[in-house]
Each structure stands twice: as C-alpha cells, then as structure tokens.
Amino acid sequence: MKLRLFTIRASFVALLSGAVLAGCQSAEAQNVTPTPETGVTPSTLLLYRADLLPGKETAYEQTEADIVQGYTDAKIPIYWTALEAVTGGPHVLYFDGFDNFADIERAGGDLAQGLDGHPEIVKLQQKLADFVSATRTVLAFRRDDLGYRLNKIDLAKANFVRVSIFQFRAGYEDEFAEAVRTRARMYETNDIDTPWMFYQAQSGIPLPAYIQFQPMNSLSEIDDALDRDAKARHAGQARPLTTQKWIRDADLSIDIQIYRVSQSMSHLSAADAAAAGSAKGKGASTAATGKYTVPPRP
C-alpha cells in the first residue's frame, strides 16, 4: 500500500494501493483504544489542513455537508471531525487518530471497499477540491510525558479546539519538553482544568515541531486559564516562556489558532452523535464533535 497525498478531509480519503481514486487516497476511521491514563486520545495522529479560496467558504461547507449525507445514505462506517477556523485565514482542519502507524496503512483497503459502487461521492470530493488553494498533511505521535489531564479529554463534548504548533531549531528538544512539564505542574497546582495533549511531528512539517491540542467546551476556558496563569506568575510559580534564554537561542516560533467544531461538516458515529447531542442539551454551543477519526481527503 502506497502512502501518497494523505488528506484528512471530511468526505474522502486516499490511501489506495496502486490505483488512486480521483487523485485521492483513502483511510478508514479507526477506533482509539482507551486507557485509564490517556482516555481516548489517539497515540498516532494524521492531521490535514485545507486552506480555502477566498469567497468559497459557503460552497465548501455545503459540498462537505452533501458528502456527509452521502456517507450516511451509503452506510459507510467511516467517521470524521471537521474543525472550522475562527482565527487566521479561512481553512478547515481535520485529524484522524490511530493506535499506531500500521493501522493507517491497513485502513486504506477498508475504505476503498466501502466507497465501491458510490461514484457520486467521488464526484463530490472532486468538486470540493476546487474550493481549496493549498493543503498540508502531518503525521505525528503522542507524547504522553507532555500531556496534561489526558484522561479528562472528551471530544464528543468539545465545541472548540485551540491548536498550537511549536517549531524551533534542532537540539533544544529537552529544553522545550521541560518547559511544557513545568507549565503542566503549574496548571496542576492551580487546578486549571483545561486538559491538553501534545504530539511530536514525524513528517509533513519542518522538524522539530510539536502540536498541542486543547479541546474546550467554551471559549471562556481561555479566560480562566489566562487568569490563573497570571496569578501563578505573580506568585512566582512560573516564568513567562519569553524570558527563558533557550527560547531566544532556539528561535522558537508558535502558531496558535482557535477552531470551532463544525457539526455540518463532520460525520459522527451514532454513539458520538448521541454524546454530542447530550453535551448541547447541557448548554453547549451548536458545534459538537466526535472522536479523533477523520478520513483523509484531497
């Protein structure tokens, strides 16, 4: 099986051996094995970003919704979560979670079988690609030592996700890891209940690079974290990252984006849809999400 343009887009995938379906590849959504320590956070991540052409946001979302309906009507058991950018230029972020990299490879054949006999979905995917200006696909693995309260993350109830990408010169990995652990200890001391998970990029982006995900029920969680963070600094519990010498030497760059979970562009399993509906019933926003299971796209 050949790994080509891995695109984690909401309705198609492309991980086909030999023949490429409409220029794309495919991968079936995988269930992540939960543990008491990490909950359902995936150990291996397939991350895809699609930058949209100006003015095509509505057309993209509608086409994506049609693809979701196509999967539902065809009863294809592949599920994904779509994140719509709140900050930055218009783009959509998809991610797919697996237990290991081998599962990514095995998934292609399963999805190809599910799509067999449904050319209408292929056409919709081709149409969707017309609204995209650029894409990026990243493979990464979870760093348990850098996570914070992983077992409390429940994506089926999240409405927003804060995604931070950290990049710096090689040779400062240990300093970065210690800075993250120090921040986690400070959060724990001040009982800041905003869990995060860290992934170390394996390919698809200049290395070294680390990606942090912070699922949130509400943007008010950012206010709470900022307030407690400020109080901790005043109490001398933590130093601002920018004051640490290694940061300047490593030429650290941080790209932070806020995303809203788009229910219309996500295809959820029955269990996740029920959990999402329950979360909304308790006062969450209209954006709900499912597991870390997103098929790749063009």
Is residue 200 a part of any domain in this protein?
yes
Q: According to the model, what pLDDT value does residue 31 have? A: 54
Domain count, the chain: 1
Domain holding 268, by residue range, is 44-281
| pLDDT band of 77, cuts 50, 70, 90 | confident
Is residue 17 a part of any domain in this protein?
no
Q: What rounded mean pLDDT belongs to the chain?
A: 78
Q: According to the model, what pLDDT value does residue 96 have? A: 79
**Residue 255 maps to which CATH number?**
3.30.70.100
Give the global pTM.
0.79
| pLDDT single digits (tens) 153-162 | 877 678 999 9
Q: Which of 123, 164, 139, 106 is nearest to 7 (CA)?
A: 139
> CA 210, CA 198: separation in Å to the nearest integer?
7
Is residue 38 a part of any domain in this protein?
no
Is residue 88 a part of any domain in this protein?
yes
> CA 16, CA 112: separation in Å to the nearest integer?
7
Is residue 5 a part of any domain in this protein?
no
Residue-by-residue DSSP string for 114-135: HHTT-HHHHHHHHHHHTTEEEE
Q: Is the pLDDT of residue 174 over 90?
A: yes
Q: Which of 282, 271, 186 is nearest to 235 (CA)?
A: 186
| pLDDT band of 292, cuts 50, 70, 90 | very low
Q: What is the residue whose two structure tokens read 């590849």?
A: 25
Q: According to the model, what pLDDT value does residue 219 have? A: 87
Is residue 11 a part of any domain in this protein?
no
| pLDDT band of 280, cuts 50, 70, 90 | low
Cβ-based neighbours of 228, under 8 Å, separated by 6 or more: 187, 190, 191, 192
Is residue 85 a part of any domain in this protein?
yes
Helix (H, G, I), strand (E, B) or coil at 83: strand
Q: Are strands 132-142 and 44-52 parallel, antiparallel or unpaired?
A: antiparallel
Cβ-based neighbours of 182, under 8 Å, separated by 6 or more: 238
* CA-angle at 141, arms to 14 and 83, nearest 5°: 60
| pLDDT single digits (tens) 18-65 | 222 222 333 333 457 777 778 778 888 888 899 999 999 999 999 999
* CA-angle at 129, arms to 298 and 28, nearest 5°: 30
Q: According to the model, what pLDDT value does residue 236 have? A: 60
Six token digits for residue 95: 């991610």
Q: Which amino acid is at 227?
A: D
> CA 295, CA 261: separation in Å to the nearest integer?
16
